Amino acid sequence: MAGKKSDAEIAAVLSKISKSHLECIICHERYSEPKILECLHNFCERCLATYQKSSGDPSIIKCPVCRKTMTFAPGTDIVASLKTNFHLVSMVEDFTLQEKLTQPKAKVICELCTDQQKAKSRCMDCPFFLCTSCQAIHQRISATAGHCIVALDTLRSGKVSLRSKAQDEPPCDKHRGEKKRFYCLTCNQLICRDCTVVEHRDPAHKFTTVDEAADRFRKNTKEFIQKFEENLAGYLEASTELAKMTKNLESSMLLTRQFVTNQATEEAGKIANREENFSNDIAKRQMLRTKVMNKTGIRIKKSLATTGETKAAELPPMKDGAMKDENKQKYSKTINEKFAGLDSSLAAVGKAAESLRKSHDEFKDLKVILESEAAKDNEEDRSKVATNCDNFLKSIQGTFKLRTSMIKEAVKIANAEIANMRQTLETASDAVKSSSNVDFLNLHLVVDSHLRVLLAQSPPRLPLGYSKMVFKSSDNTALGELILGATWNFSREIITGASIISMAAAFSNVILVSVSNPHGGRDYGGLSQTYLTTGGLQQKSSQQYGCLATFRNGGTPFCALSSGSVSMLSESLSTLRSYTIPTSVEQDGSQINLGNPVNMAHYRNQEIIISYSNWQGIVVFDTSNGSTVRKIPVDIKPDFLACTTRGRILVASRRPARVECLDDNDVSSLIIHPTVARSTTEGEKEAPVICSGLCRDSRDIIYVAVSIEGAQEIHIHQYTSCGSFIGCLTSGYISQPVIDIGVTGNGTLVVAERNSQKLKLFETLKEEVAVT
């Protein structure tokens, strides 16, 4: 038949499949008793045991592929406690048998007789390869007469599964002769008929058939897979966005370098023009002096600075009265008076000649001084232009390298997560589509758990405009300033009319703020809650609340806390329902009074997280039914709270300034230590800072407001979801003390100032640089 593959071709294909899917990455052999980790990576039991012993810590095991760590109680046999991937066991067995059947020169031997006869069939119940004689005997024995026997040619055709029937109904290890045909929904394990009336009986345990349970859980896993595919699409989009950001950053860097170079060239041209204009101005003044002297008939043949002579003063200077003494006897009184007047005029001419000589010398000296000072100024300006240009180019190159490194790191993380997610998706999809009901029920808990973990994560993203680099030129030797990234511009302020106590920014461009009642104290009994938008004051509530939170899942919009209860609020600020919140917690055998609520944030679904004044921990509270989900001790004082899109908890302490991120299992996976460098006589040093606010935006960029102790300035740091520092906003528009920060849905950063009664709003420049 045309197009039909030979046994050799089939064997070659099977070999490739085996290498890519059925071989352990540690020993590079086909899996033997494969154990599956929480991350869904599989390894031979013996390989994993050897690897785990070499780690040096008997209570943990770290995946050799993705480095995910699993922690176990001390004394636990870690590898033995891991689930065996029976689906993978079946695949290995099936592929091994298929290879055996399709080998061109391989002879399949009967597994029952000792005559080494060639097998003609296989019993699917035992399972054994059988020769013609053994098959006849097998079918005559009463215990095996009902077994299903299939010819090898039929098996080779692929029309019949190689899976043994015994694998679909595994024997119970507690009750001899019984098969595991049921599934305990309470214990999540396969059980036999006797188990249903002994260890797993009603009403404490609920059970169903294997087929019904498998259908139910396959449906659940399919729903997870569908959500997971959407999440994977988000990661692919983030990866594409990061790749585009790298290209934009490079284009932006080249364009900005050109702008700086052009500005430096333009400034150098201005200096050259200034030099030319200076020479022209000096020449004009010299020509003007010459013109004035020519009009008065004065001619200077030699430099008066050296001779001090003029044509009108060639005779030696005469002393006053000399002519009068000489002609005393010759002339009359009238003539003598005339001579005296002549002598006086002659003396005045001498003085004028001397003054002209001095003026000429001063002109020459001043000209020399002007030329020297102008040359010095021009040289200094040239040096400033060259230095500033060089500094800008170095800054641009340094920023480019730093941001390129940051983008590459984000790309690396995204690609690693994408590879991990694709492997997870492949494993989960394969388990749903091709595993038997028994194998799937053994596997689905691990698969579903890992899908939940990955669904709670967000793709690494950088702020919009992170690749932006703009040079804003100025008309001086400073050349201008370099504007980097998504810069924040002060937009406007909203005056609340009273001191601010609490603030929350919603992702629907709404801001909630609690202010102190002018007629009451500053405790929880004296608060009035105000509802604001970024456009200004809209509504007020007569209710009195302290901490505020906004929901991001499209359900109940707002949540407000008083000292003893939590209220869910509608868009018009009317109370939908209220519940009493916990007031104490048991820890280390002692009952601790929690005190007043300090902060609150939306967690996931209808859950919120609350921190208190007297306990270093967080309470997870379900606002749909008023129940406490769990209580989480933390390593730092939880002064500020926030949650990521996928439900990771962010906790920040005021002093010392520190941020921790708790994963889905409440383990700290990320720590941020905000710092601010200050110039001292000993060089750059990190100044002690206080945390004044914490929030995140829709892209899971983390914002931390910090202030230097003893100083008035506020720094608002940006970090990626992985904790890498991005940038900092400092603004003279912000005044202390800051009570909290938030980001609205349109990307507006809101800073709440306690005493000024103001909310300061900052907008980010999101546009990318236009590259031509």
The pLDDT of residue 541 is 63
Alpha-carbon distances of 16 from 11, 92, 663, rounded to whole Å: 9, 13, 38
The pLDDT of residue 14 is 46
The pLDDT of residue 509 is 75
CA distance 318 to 739: 92
Instruction: Give residues with Cβ within 8 angstroms of 250, minimum separation 6.
Output: 400, 404
pLDDT band at 313 (very low <50, low <70, confident <90, very high): very low
pLDDT band at 179 (very low <50, low <70, confident <90, very high): confident
The pLDDT of residue 241 is 87
Alpha-carbon distances of 576 from 96, 568, 571, rounded to whole Å: 63, 5, 10
CA distance 17 to 41: 17
State pLDDT tens for residues 578-592.
999 998 888 877 888
The pLDDT of residue 311 is 41
CA distance 560 to 569: 7
Given a contact cutoff of 8 angstroms between Cβ atoms, the answer to whether 634 and 650 are in contact is no
pLDDT band at 702 (very low <50, low <70, confident <90, very high): very high
How much is the mean pLDDT over the chain? Answer: 81
Question: Does domain 486-764 match CATH 2.30.42.10?
Answer: no
Q: Give the distance from CA 257 to its chain's centroid.
A: 27
- Per-residue pLDDT, averaged over 327-337, amounts to 61
- Per-residue pLDDT, averaged over 204-232, amounts to 91
The pLDDT of residue 298 is 65
pLDDT at 538 over 90: no
Higher pLDDT among residues 129 and 463, named by residue: 129
AA identity, residue 492: R
The pLDDT of residue 303 is 46
The pLDDT of residue 342 is 72
pLDDT at 458 over 80: no
Higher pLDDT among residues 308 and 165, named by residue: 165
pLDDT at 4 over 50: no
State pLDDT tens for residues 465-483.
788 888 888 888 889 888 7
Of 680, 692, 676, 695, the closest CA to residue 744 belongs to 695
Instruction: Give residues with Cβ within 8 angstroms of 217, minimum separation 6.
Output: 440, 441, 444, 448
Of 86, 168, 94, 45, the closest CA to residue 447 belongs to 86
- Per-residue pLDDT, averaged over 209-225, amounts to 93
The pLDDT of residue 355 is 78
State pLDDT tens for residues 635-673.
999 999 999 887 889 999 998 899 999 887 788 888 999
Tokens encoding 446 = 């691990």
State pLDDT tens for residues 402-424.
888 888 888 888 898 899 899 99
Given a contact cutoff of 8 angstroms between Cβ atoms, the answer to whether 479 and 385 are in contact is yes
Which three-class secondary structure state does DSSP give residue 344?
A: helix
Break the chain into its structural domains and give their ranges.
1-105, 241-455, 486-764
Residue 258 CB burial class (10 angstroms; 0-12, 13-18, ≥19): exposed
CA distance 616 to 636: 7
pLDDT at 305 over 60: no
Tokens encoding 277 = 């204009």
Of 88, 93, 89, the closest CA to residue 40 belongs to 88
3-class DSSP string for 191-246? ECHHHHHCCCCCCCCCEEEHHHHHHHHHHHHHHHHHHHHHHHHHHHHHHHHHHHHH
The pLDDT of residue 164 is 63
AA identity, residue 28: H
CA distance 760 to 738: 10
Instruction: Give residues with Cβ within 8 angstroms of 430, minimum separation 6.
Output: 87
For 623, other C-beta atoms within 10 Å of its C-beta total 25
DSSP track, 596-660: SEEEEEE-STTEEEEEESS-SEEEEEETTTTEEEEEEE-SS--SEEEE-TT--EEEEETTTTEEE
H-helix or E-strand containing 548?
A: strand 548-550
Tokens encoding 72 = 């176990």
For 475, other C-beta atoms within 10 Å of its C-beta total 11
Most confident residue range from 168-182, 354-368, 383-397, 654-668: 383-397
pLDDT at 169 over 60: yes
pLDDT at 17 over 60: no
Given a contact cutoff of 8 angstroms between Cβ atoms, the answer to whether 185 and 213 are in contact is yes
CA distance 451 to 157: 36
The pLDDT of residue 481 is 84
Instruction: Give residues with Cβ within 8 angstroms of 28, minimum separation 6.
Output: none
CA distance 600 to 566: 10
Residue 176 CB burial class (10 angstroms; 0-12, 13-18, ≥19): exposed
CA distance 34 to 176: 26
AA identity, residue 450: H
pLDDT band at 535 (very low <50, low <70, confident <90, very high): low
**Least confident window among 354-358, 623-627, 765-769:** 765-769
pLDDT at 449 over 50: yes
Higher pLDDT among residues 141 and 522, named by residue: 141
pLDDT at 525 over 80: no
Alpha-carbon distances of 644 from 606, 636, 641, 649, 703, rounded to whole Å: 15, 19, 10, 7, 12
Cα angle at 725 between 724 and 730, to 5 degrees? 160
Of 579, 469, 573, 450, the closest CA to residue 512 belongs to 573
Higher pLDDT among residues 229 and 754, named by residue: 229
The pLDDT of residue 628 is 92
Of 498, 400, 465, the closest CA to residue 763 belongs to 465
The pLDDT of residue 600 is 92
Question: Which CATH code, of 3.40.50.1100, 3.40.630.30, 3.30.9.100, 3.30.40.10, is assigned to 1-105?
Answer: 3.30.40.10
pTM: 0.65
Tokens encoding 741 = 């920060």
pLDDT band at 768 (very low <50, low <70, confident <90, very high): very low
CA distance 568 to 49: 52
Alpha-carbon distances of 252 from 156, 335, 470, rounded to whole Å: 62, 94, 8
Higher pLDDT among residues 423 and 362, named by residue: 423
Looking at the chain, the whole-number percentage of residues with pLDDT higher than 90 is 24
The pLDDT of residue 485 is 65
State pLDDT tens for residues 249-288.
899 899 999 999 999 999 999 888 888 888 888 788 878 7
Instruction: Give residues with Cβ within 8 angstroms of 291, minimum separation 6.
Output: none
State pLDDT tens for residues 30-86.
999 999 999 999 999 999 999 988 877 888 898 998 888 888 888 888 999 999 998
The pLDDT of residue 506 is 73
CA distance 518 to 447: 57
State pLDDT tens for residues 582-637.
988 888 778 889 988 999 999 988 899 999 999 999 999 999 899 999 999 999 99
Residue 311 CB burial class (10 angstroms; 0-12, 13-18, ≥19): exposed
The pLDDT of residue 16 is 46
Given a contact cutoff of 8 angstroms between Cβ atoms, the answer to whether 674 and 659 are in contact is yes
pLDDT at 111 over 80: yes
Q: Give the distance from CA 202 to its chain's centroid.
A: 50
Instruction: Give residues with Cβ within 8 angstroms of 151, minimum separation 6.
Output: 120, 121
CA distance 415 to 411: 6
CA distance 188 to 704: 43
